[in-house]
Structure 1
């Protein structure tokens, strides 16, 4: 079997993680043939630490013109996603893109259309629904372990933004950064996969005096198709450690997914207690699923349609209107088959 030929465009946190941690796990099936970053010194620094010896580029257009590829991983800032993906599709290359899909809803919709026209694999790096703790949460909900869902709370609360480990020139910008975009998009997409479409959004956003800076406080209600509401609390001024969590209230108990992967459960008679999570049969990483699909095997990915539908809710959240914004007309496809009650 010939190895798949892959390029990484963008060597920030996610690009480096792909290059040094994920790809080496699959070196028998996929070959890193090129990397690209606008910072030339970053290219040489990363290549010095890698076992692979890919070609180096500072211009992704030149890379896509010159290097035969099966797959490109797009890990540049969101404002560049559209142009890189468009160029890749035009050359018949499969695309694996970081979230959010694009930097605007119009760009995201165009990327869906380009992906369909190209007839290539199109995947967004959404892995959260396949995390073992989320899979366990889904299983408990399917068993109606807490009865009928009444409401939910979503917490996106940080002592500071950006966090100490993710400093870069754009992640705190109002244009393409902020915790709603960077972190909230994961939870929005997971909620859409697990509970069905979010159809109405009402939000209040506070920004710092500096017009270039991303949100400082967010308060919102996300209403599901079945009228169940998710109350969102966001801040970059939380006292103590960050809290990124979803709490699901049922008529017979509570399930809480705390800080991504810690699951708790209570009943009418008991307080919240940890729920053991078995991760041995995990479907992650998403790269493994992509490799399987490109080799003609079954696999599970979240495509540009999923990316677009998450962005519909994200944009409504970040751009408050009067009262609730009805986003049903903008959503693509029918997600109701994946609803859990």
Structure 2
């Protein structure tokens, strides 16, 4: 008997295959691919700002989940919601895009007593294909402000994408400071879809990229 996560992965793969076979222009809404903060992060990594990457860390801390503006049954449910799915998958996709394939090694997922409620904590160990470690630290229902921080630690420095759009970084021996994002890198999925429909080169995250991110996501949730 298949697990729910296996079924979801198979469904994602079938959508990608069908869209490819039919020649349909297809895209997924992963907004980090188009914002100036995350695109500047990716550009700085490519330019060697941190040197050789030693570790990637994704921190997702929420004082409340669902947040006050997300109070509905599905986003609080174990089957369809949770912050690992709603937030984590965006960073999984970014890791795969910027740094390459990801393998899940170990995970500890914490759930409340309600069997239908989503996770309240996760600790996970992953790695890139070259063995570079990735750590995921997620908690909800805790004191303090919400913090989503994706950090690359390298031989030459540290770089963080904070709360989706802010950048912080520093070279070895220097303090970590705010880095201004390059506003000229800002883009939109809509603009890229228009390019694609015109037959031009376009930056689109298609169903295949979504499928690859979902494979990792479901291993973490399953």
TM-score range, shorter chain: over 0.9
Which of 42, 47, 68 is the equivalent residue of 1:138?
Answer: 42
Counterpart mapping for 1:261-276 below 5 A = 261-276=165-180
Rg: which structure is higher? 1
Counterpart mapping for 1:1-341 below 5 A = 104-284=8-188, 286-319=189-222
Count residues in correspondence.
218
- Stretches of structure 1 lacking an aligned partner (at least 5 in a row): 1-78, 80-101, 320-341
| Structure 2: distance between partners of 1:239 and 1:163 | 13
| Structure 1: distance between partners of 2:142 and 2:183 | 31
Q: Is the 8 A contact 1:246 1:256 kept in 2?
A: yes
CA-CA distance at 1:281 after TM superposition: 4.2
| Structure 1: distance between partners of 2:21 and 2:185 | 35
CA-CA distance at 1:215 after TM superposition: 0.4
Q: Is the 8 A contact 2:104 2:220 kept in 1?
A: no
Q: Call closer, same or farther: CA 1:103–1:121 in 2, change over 3 Å.
A: farther
- Stretches of structure 2 lacking an aligned partner (at least 5 in a row): none
Higher relative contact order, structure no. (Cα contacts within 8 Å, ≥ 6 residues apart): 2
TM-score with structure 1 length normalisation?
0.61
| Structure 1: distance between partners of 2:47 and 2:203 | 23
| Structure 2: distance between partners of 1:124 and 1:201 | 27
Report the aligned-residue RMSD: 1.7
What per-residue deviation string (whole Å, max 9, x for no partner) do you get for residues 125-162 of structure 1?
11212321122122222222222111121111111111
Give the stretch that moved more between structures: 104-113 or 171-180.
104-113
TM-score with structure 2 length normalisation?
0.92
CA-CA distance at 1:117 after TM superposition: 2.6
